[in-house]
């Protein structure tokens, strides 16, 4: 190979590498937009973890993924600032502090989609009642009985975490 061919090949590889490093997958960009983060800033793995953390309303995981490192007094559960959340609550015409940031996001989407059923469910607060430790269903009662615990004192997740782990 000639020197010109080698230089041209190296230049092409360098340019192609830089271009591919800067390109953002359309699916990843869409997921980032849905989650309200800057496209290209987080990997697909981080975006999926963030999506799951928001779905589970896991405040610590959200803060860790977003790298906020700020105290809960300056940031609420989904990383919205107090003023930003208040603005969203005002736009949605809902009671301040009643809904999590995730619920506000879901309510916004339900209204945008015209999904009255989802909107009514979010506004009813039924989702929060289901995660109340005092709420007991048959499955939760059975697990608590196996552990000799009061099911009204623990969430289902806490009870499951207390179950002995199998070695298989």
> What is the mean predicted confidence (pLDDT) over 2-20?
57
Question: What was the pLDDT predicted at 73?
Answer: 34
Q: Which two tokens stand for residue 130?
A: 């289901």
Question: What was the pLDDT predicted at 46?
Answer: 83
Question: What was the pLDDT predicted at 74?
Answer: 34
Q: Does the pLDDT of residue 14 top 60, yes or no?
A: no
Q: Please write the tens of the pLDDT for every residue from 87-145.
A: 888 889 998 888 888 888 889 999 999 999 989 988 987 766 555 555 778 888 888 89
Q: Does the pLDDT of residue 35 top 70, yes or no?
A: yes
Best CA proximity match to 45, nearest among 26, 58, 32: 32
Give CA–CA dist 20/29, Å, rounded: 15
Contact residues for 143 (Cβ-Cβ < 8 A; gap 6+) = 151, 156, 159, 160, 163
Q: Please write the tens of the pLDDT for every residue from 60-101.
A: 788 788 874 333 333 344 445 566 788 888 889 998 888 888
Contact residues for 70 (Cβ-Cβ < 8 A; gap 6+) = 63
Best CA proximity match to 102, nearest among 59, 152, 39, 71: 59
Question: What was the pLDDT predicted at 20?
Answer: 45
Q: Does the pLDDT of residue 162 top 50, yes or no?
A: yes
More confidently predicted of 27 and 23: 27
Provide the 10 A C-beta neighbour count for residue 165: 6
Q: Does the pLDDT of residue 30 top 80, yes or no?
A: yes
Q: Give pTM, 2 decimals.
A: 0.35
């Amino acid at each position: 190979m000639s020197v010109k061919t080698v230089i041209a090949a190296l230049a092409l590889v360098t340019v192609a590498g830089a271009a591919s490093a800067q390109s953002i997958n359309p699916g990843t960009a869409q997921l980032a937009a849905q989650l309200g983060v800057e496209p290209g800033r987080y990997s697909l793995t981080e975006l999926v973890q963030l999506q799951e953390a928001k779905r589970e309303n896991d405040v610590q995981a959200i803060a860790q993924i977003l790298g906020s490192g700020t105290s809960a007094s300056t940031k609420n559960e989904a990383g919205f600032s107090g003023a930003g959340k208040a603005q969203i609550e005002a736009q949605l015409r809902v009671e301040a502090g009643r809904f999590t940031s995730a619920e506000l996001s879901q309510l916004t989407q339900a209204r945008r989609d015209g999904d009255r059923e989802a909107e009514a469910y979010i506004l009813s607060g039924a989702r929060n009642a289901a995660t109340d430790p005092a709420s007991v269903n048959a499955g939760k009662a059975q697990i608590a009985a196996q552990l000799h615990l009061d099911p009204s004192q623990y969430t289902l997740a806490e009870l499951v975490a207390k179950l002995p782990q199998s070695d298989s």
